[in-house]
A = this chain, B = another copy of it.
Amino acid sequence: METIYLNNRQIQAVLSVPECLGVIEIVFKNLHLSQMPPKIYLDVPDGDFRAMPAIFDKTAGIKWCGVQLDTKKQKRKINIFAKVLINDVDSGELLAIMDGEAITAIRTAAVTGVATDYIAKKDAKVAAFIGCGNQTKYQVEAILAVRNIEKLHLFDLDPERCEYIGSQFDIEYEVFKDVESCVRDADVITTLTPSRTPFLKHAWLKDIVHINAIGADAKGKRELAPCVLDNVDAVIFDNWEQCSHSGEIQYRPEKMDPYSKCHKRQEWTDLGDVVRSEKDLTGYNQTVFDATGLAVEDVATARYIYQKSIT
């Protein structure tokens, strides 16, 4: 078999966010069967390169990507480069080399969708998005795929980016000038920024709310004020160990205490346990999903794209 090469455009033509939800649900159902060493970070000025290898379902693969803050634009713009390579475990053969930007955006959104579907209340109506960068369009698609959302609330330091996102969906949307007013009436909040300063406060939240904290995926990054993690009922991780180094809980003093997973005041659990129905989250009103992005998500998504492309 020849190695196939797929670019971002070809990948977007093959896989939509709603379809990827099924791939990601299978990933979290079988996460305990995967092999996934910790991501490796190589530090460079104003960013990092990351190697993310994993084995999932007879596929060995790696994402190699770079994240750089654009210092000329107040460190706001993030330049992301990414490639995904996958091999068949049995033959060792390199199946495909794919652009990784579209895979990253689609699978990250699909993870948010699966988490929201398993955790958020069924009657969620207002979805807020903080940060309207390249990934936000996909994230909106994911939330719309799992809940009957009636209105989008959008915030970004650049309001034009909010308008651009809002205009792409056939649904009411409102652009806000500050985070507080953007989230005040929201049932589901998704944070998608490269922030290193917490900006989301607990006092602003509804009594029943689900937060997808997607931005923090490396040391030093954070979006939620400590009072949010202090006061919500449950914190769900894509991967507890990875989150304790790179996610929102990297700043929590109890993060490395294994007993803290059964914290007295709140439930700490992995999304895999929730998806496998080993944890029932009914009864928790304020929930946070702390996502750092897993190599198995890339490998499984790339394998799915590969299979669809060759058949």
* A-to-B contact residues, CB < 8 Å: 35, 37, 40-44, 47, 49, 51, 53-55, 60, 62, 64, 66, 68, 79, 81, 83, 85, 87, 89, 92-94, 97
Chain A interface secondary structure, helix, strand, loop or mixed? Answer: strand
Q: Measured between C-beta atoms, what is the minimum distance from A100 to chain B in Å?
A: 10
Tell which of A35, A54, A83 has the most Cβ of chain B within 10 Å: A83
Q: Please state if B42 and A49 are interface contacts (CB–CB under 8 Å).
A: no
Q: How far is the CA of A105 from the CA of B55 in the complex (A)?
A: 26
Q: Please state if A62 and B64 are interface contacts (CB–CB under 8 Å).
A: yes
Q: How far is the CA of A85 from the CA of B47 in the complex (A)?
A: 18
Contacts A42-B54, A51-B51 supplied; 14 other A-B pairs, CB < 8 Å: A37-B41, A40-B51, A42-B53, A44-B55, A44-B89, A49-B55, A51-B53, A53-B64, A62-B62, A62-B64, A64-B64, A66-B87, A81-B87, A81-B93
A37 contact set on B, CB distance < 8 A: 40-42
* A38, closest chain B residue (CB): B40
Q: How far is the CA of A303 from the CA of B54 in the complex (A)?
A: 26
Q: Please state if A83 and B81 are interface contacts (CB–CB under 8 Å).
A: no
Q: How far is the CA of A42 from the CA of B288 in the complex (A)?
A: 31
* A85, closest chain B residue (CB): B64
18 example contacts (A-B, Cβ-Cβ < 8 A) are as follows A35-B42, A40-B40, A42-B53, A42-B54, A42-B60, A44-B89, A49-B53, A49-B55, A51-B51, A53-B64, A60-B66, A62-B64, A64-B64, A68-B92, A81-B87, A83-B94, A83-B97, A97-B97
